[in-house]
Amino acid sequence: MLWLAQAFLAISLVEAQSTPYGNTTNPSNNGSIPVALSNATSPPFYPSPWGDGTGDGWAEAYEKAHAFVRQLTLLEKVNLTTGVGWEGEACVGNVGEIPRLGFRSLCMQDSPLGIRFADYVSAFTSGGTIAASWDRGEWYRRGYQMGMEHRQKGVDVQLGPVVGPLGRNPKGGRNWEGFSPDPVLSGIAVAQTVRGIQDAGVIACTKHYILNEQEHFRQPGNFEDFGFVDAISSNIDDKTLHELYLWPFADAVRAGTGSIMCSYNKINNSQGCQNSYLQNYILKGELGFQGFIMSDWDAQHSGVASSFAGMDMSMPGDTDFDSGLSFWGANLTLSVINGTVPEWRVDDMAVRIMAAYYFVGRDTAQVPVNFNSWSLDTFGYRHAFAQTGYGLINEHVDVRDEHAMAIRTAAAKSTVLLKNNGVLPLTGREKFTAVFGDDSTENPYGPNGCPDHGCDNGTLAMGWGSGTAFYPYLVTPLEAIKNELVPQGRVVQSVVDNWAYDQITALAKQASVAIVFVNSDSGEGYITVDGNMGDRNNLTVWQDGEQLIKNVSASCNNTVVVIHSVGPVLVDSWYESENITAILWAGLPGEQSGNSIADVLYGRVNPGGKIPFTFGRQASDYGPDLIYEPTNGHDSPQDNFEEGVFIDYRAFDKNDITPIYEFGFGLSYTTFSYSDLNVQKVEAGPYTPTTGMTGAAPVLGNSSTDPADYQWPANLTYVKQYIYPYLNSTDGKTASNDSEYGLNYTWPEGATDSSPQPRIAAGGAPGGNPQLWDVLFSVTASITNNGTIPGDEVPQLYISLGGPDDPKVALRNFDRLSIQPGQSATFTADITRRDVSNWDTVSQNWVISNHTKTVYVGSSSRTLPLSAKLQF
Ligand code: NOJ
């Protein structure tokens, strides 16, 4: 038990010297903007709030969860909370089972864009790409279809969607797994995705909470060049936390996400998964989160401290992959029976897990797990690490349904037309089409030929890492273009070696149209591709792509460029060339890549996507760079989020930097005009801070404290390195291997208190105080299609909050409208209280400032033809 005591010491040392997040001020800015500083600390907050079923649909789920957990022994509760260890069962994470009740081990499976490590699944459009559709219906549909696939493979928890990283810097390796650096776009996308996944009967796990904005140093570890370096600390102030990074998490909680994954990084120098302020106070307190917090894989660094700090499930359960040791498991059993952790806290963990289970209807939706992450073979070992339990492990169930068509449509709707000199759409009657680029063709190793897609071979349709899925096939752009043109008797040829300069020039010279495909990749930090350790080293296109574009466009005056990328790339040196007649951003489209781009190129789909980030002139335009080298020796690199809420377009606006293509920009094959802005005030009454007290923590069990009752069952078939809840001895001291077992421990103040607690003023329901969603204004505008073909337009509503520390404009609402030629459609959008509020660090609540507020409506963050002052 010594390590438990040490864990306490660590948290009391870190948290004792803490200051509330809002108290740090920036001396260089009249002290008005709170900034994040090196060595920032995180205040303690205890006890961990127990779930109480507040919020739509949760009360019934809680009733069922309480009834279920009441029947459980302590060992069974511990089993629900602790993973069995890496590669212990079929999924990337499994908790223990409860055989007495016929309750099988819960299965957690990546990823945010489909099912990782399984055959006969779909590879959906990535989050950062489908964000560009600005289409609530597409987000929901994708979530639902992904959920259905997980459900049919037997998965209980889909490890997605992602809103952390949000995308503070475009080089962040995993930005593409999430949606957009804009919190409102991300917030609406994540809420729709959560609803979709959970309506399919699968628990969504929104991740990574929070400020997991880069891959370098995300975890403590040994680095070739630097030796040991502790996990990076993202240092944040209270205002930026609320107004930017927490915002989409609040939307996910409000949408009912059953689970949230705490992140690898530290926040204000306190580990993500044992940060009591962020987990207890913010997430379970202020945001009223009713589901469970699951650790990222090996992001747990303590036993007792993480229990008190609000973590509910340890993944994958072992301290290090396959160590056979666990911070929880038997140690959690011991910490309850020796009185260190009160049983109500473990009950709350189990209740939260089961409440999420009932909330999404797992009790009626569950099917047996019919795949195995560690092998595609039909027969193999159930326990892959232990190499035991040989039998049927993969039934190869095809769960794809009709999803391919939806993926094709979604990716085409997410494609953004950045430049068009009138050459697009192509007619298909072009006499000679030449296709260029390694990015137009197939990975020579096959679409799944590189582990976790950790290579940049062939056309790019997803990034790399755990956020991936196996492709059932990958329709390449080259084959789709050939399918388009060959039946019509056209000439179509390609050069896919980007370095074959002579052949490229020779072919480009003959072409009536040249289509050049380039890409830029990134992924998760455990894989390095071409020197990029997850994060991108720069924003240029890969594989000599810039030279390829220049070589082709030097010889063909009708060159169309298609970019497949994880985010913005630098286009400054070529985008203005007259020979480059069109540019499309197609993002990471997923399995139907070629078909989707052909639909847009040949005009079956009129592009309506808008870029969900900014294309800048140079990497430095985006503000602070990622941290690529230790800043603090072996201690945690200090990553100070000093730019506050000014990331992406807010940074460009603030610093008066002209982007190349601004956030929200995207052309169409038709044109639209905006008129008739109308703003109606809606009476909502005053905002009432939440008051009163919670109930006491429910008592659901009163387990024996005698170690003799927790011994290994006689008939158990032991699986090597598997994590169990049982004790090795009837003597606590021996079982814990702790000479101080049973002596006095010190708890963080309030950690064991189960009495009613004050409710939080800014809280009151999942997502925060429900009155934040009161509608204060209703806005309409008229959008007219001035062209001759039908098209989609995305009117965007921005607000200037008017204060000196506010972004020039901030996105607050949008809609995607299909409009017939010559017709007008009405854009209707609400403005909520939350939309016009700032976070006030003193009152710890949202307030509407006295500054004059203006609403804007237009087609991008910089084309805002309609505006009006908001009259409160
Ligand atoms: C670590 C990643 O950060 C997380 O996103 C993923 O779900 C787990 N590994 C499991 O693969």
Q: How far apart are CA 583 and CA 585, in angstroms?
A: 7
- Other beta carbons within 10 angstroms of residue 321's beta carbon come to 13
Q: How far apart are CA 56 and CA 501, in angstroms?
A: 61
Question: What stretches in the chain show pLDDT beneath 70?
Answer: 1-36
Three-state SS at 443: coil
CATH number of 2-365+697-736: 3.20.20.300
Q: How far apart are CA 477 and CA 494, in angstroms?
A: 11
Q: Which is the closest atom of ligand 1 to the Cα of 177?
A: 5
CATH number of 674-685+774-869: 2.60.40.10
Q: Which is the closest atom of ligand 1 to the Cα of 467?
A: 5
Q: What does residue 813 show for φ and ψ, rounded to 5 degrees? A: -165, 170
Which residue owns the Cα nearest ligand 1 atom 1?
A: 297
How many whole angstroms from 467 Cα to the centroid of ligand 1?
8
Q: Do domains 2-365+697-736 and 403-627 have the same CATH topology?
A: no
Q: Which of 524, 526, 527, 535 to mutate to test the pocket of ligand 1 (most atoms within 8 A of CB)?
A: 524
- Which residue among 52, 296, 521, 806 is the active-site one? 296
C-beta of residue 831 within 8 angstroms of C-beta of residue 773: no
How many whole angstroms from 759 Cα to the centroid of ligand 1?
33
| pTM over 0.85, yes/no | yes
Average pLDDT over all residues of the chain: 95
Q: What is the pLDDT of residues 135-163, one digit of tens each?
A: 999 999 999 999 999 999 999 999 999 99
How many whole angstroms from 807 Cα to the centroid of ligand 1?
33
Question: So what's the pLDDT on residue 35?
Answer: 60
How many whole angstroms from 125 Cα to the centroid of ligand 1?
19
Q: Which is the closest atom of ligand 1 to the Cα of 208?
A: 5
Which residue owns the Cα nearest ligand 1 atom 6?
A: 466
Which residue owns the Cα nearest ligand 1 atom 9?
A: 297
CA dist 686 to 355, 808, 847, Å?
33, 27, 11
How many whole angstroms from 273 Cα to the centroid of ligand 1?
14
Question: So what's the pLDDT on residue 805?
Answer: 95
How many whole angstroms from 297 Cα to the centroid of ligand 1?
6
Q: What does residue 95 show for φ and ψ, rounded to 5 degrees? A: -95, 175
Which residue owns the Cα nearest ligand 1 atom 5?
A: 466
Residue 436's nearest CA partner among 524, 509, 345 is: 509
Question: So what's the pLDDT on residue 743?
Answer: 72
Which residue owns the Cα nearest ligand 1 atom 11?
A: 466
Q: Which is the closest atom of ligand 1 to the Cα of 110?
A: 7
Q: Which is the closest atom of ligand 1 to the Cα of 93?
A: 10
Question: What residues line ligand 1, using a CB cutoff of 6 Å?
Answer: 92, 110, 159, 207, 296-297, 466
- Other beta carbons within 10 angstroms of residue 305's beta carbon come to 28
Three-state SS at 504: helix
Which residue owns the Cα nearest ligand 1 atom 8?
A: 297
Q: Which of 159, 212, 259, 315 to mutate to test the pocket of ligand 1 (most atoms within 8 A of CB)?
A: 159
Question: So what's the pLDDT on residue 21?
Answer: 66
Q: Which is the closest atom of ligand 1 to the Cα of 205?
A: 7
Q: Which of 86, 89, 209, 297 to mutate to test the pocket of ligand 1 (most atoms within 8 A of CB)?
A: 297
DSSP state of 95: B
Question: So what's the pLDDT on residue 26?
Answer: 38
Pair type for strands 221-223 and 203-209: unpaired
- The answer to whether residue 296 is catalytic is yes
Question: So what's the pLDDT on residue 738?
Answer: 83
What are the sequence ranges of the domains in the chain? 2-365+697-736, 403-627, 674-685+774-869
Superfamily of domain 403-627: Glycoside hydrolase family 3 C-terminal domain (3.40.50.1700)
Which residue owns the Cα nearest ligand 1 atom 3?
A: 296
Pair type for strands 432-436 and 491-495: parallel
Which residue owns the Cα nearest ligand 1 atom 4?
A: 296
Q: What does residue 432 show for φ and ψ, rounded to 5 degrees? A: -140, 110
